[in-house]
Amino acid sequence: MPELPEVETVRRGLQPVMEGAKIVVAEARRPDLRFPFQPDFVARLQGQIVTGLGRRAKYLMADLASGDVLLMHLGMSGSFRVIKPDNEAAPGEFHYPRGKDSTHDHVLFRMSSGADIVFNDPRRFGYMKVIARSALDDEPLLRDLGPEPLGNEFDAAMLASSCQDKTTSLKAALLDQRVVAGLGNIYVCEALHRSHLSPRRIAATLSTKKGESTDHAKRLVGAIHTVLNDAIKAGGSSLRDHRQTSGELGYFQHSFKVYDREGEVCKTPRCGGTIKRFTQNGRSTFWCPKCQK
């Protein structure tokens, strides 16, 4: 499932053609995706100006002039593509042509900017919902989310406080969206390796008995910032389904230090360890037992 960098990459691709433009036509070409579309889904979108396009965790959020917000989630295989009047394309080194089969084109937004924005989702685990901005704090999909890992408020003190009494593993804590929003399996593995912390470490060790942040917490927050920013610059990671709005693949997977690197030599200087894999909370964990403690 796309994680924060993939969703942020999509947001940046949609922003130039969506923000400030009117949704001239909105089409929902089937009654549902993961969840049924609201009966007034199209009516609340058509004719509205998108005043801003943001992101919260793994959700895209389009602010509308009406005071509504269009909440969008990519699910496992969802992707947006932008079609301009002259069929302009921007293929790059990692560009792969999209299939011509439009069977899975489930939602279309025709914008006053001249672009068509098409949401394609073969597995239909994505979803969209229109919510009044005044009701966002009570929205079940959003209300329990933790801080944004790239936000100003997320620091070592906040992470230590969130983990102070947790007896779960550090990896499990980081995957808990109530602790920090938007992180997934790939970037947690990568951040733990960069901070030289074991995924098996107890989460509470990020905090002292007095509730202050330890050096471990400071290293981990720095690693989270670095790996997420590096991944966003690379357009995210493309393992199966992720595409940028231009159709290009993200290429951060070429920079993985541990994820999917089982059996390879650890890239930490002077380590010499071997990357191992084990199953943790039902997910594959990749780590170096020699330098991650």
Cβ-proximal residues to 104 (8 Å cutoff; 6+ apart), any chain: 120, 121, 122
Phi, psi of 227 (to 5 degrees): -70, -35
Is residue 69 within 8 A of residue 131, CB to CB? The reply is yes
- CA dist., res. 84 & res. 18, Å (int): 12
- CA dist., res. 113 & res. 223, Å (int): 39
| CA triple 191-78-35, angle to 5 deg | 110
Looking up tokens 């100006």 gives 49
* Catalytic residue status for 58: yes
* Catalytic residue status for 133: no
Residue 124's region, left for phi above 0, alpha for psi from -120 to 50, else beta, is: left
* Catalytic residue status for 139: no
- The closest of 97, 104, 9, 88 to 53, measured between CA atoms, is 9
Task: List the catalytic residue out of 3, 6, 19, 248.
Answer: 3
Task: List the catalytic residue out of 34, 200, 267, 283.
Answer: 283
Half-sphere exposure of 203 (CA within 13 A, CB side): 19
Task: List the catalytic residue out of 58, 194, 257, 261.
Answer: 58
Task: List the catalytic residue out of 2, 147, 149, 199.
Answer: 2
* Catalytic residue status for 2: yes
- Quote the crossing angle between the two packed helices 215-233 and 156-163, to the nearest 10°: 110
What tokens appear for 274 in the block? 């071997």
- CA dist., res. 271 & res. 178, Å (int): 34
Task: Compute the radius of gyration of the chain from its Cα atoms.
Answer: 20
* Catalytic residue list: 2-3, 58, 283
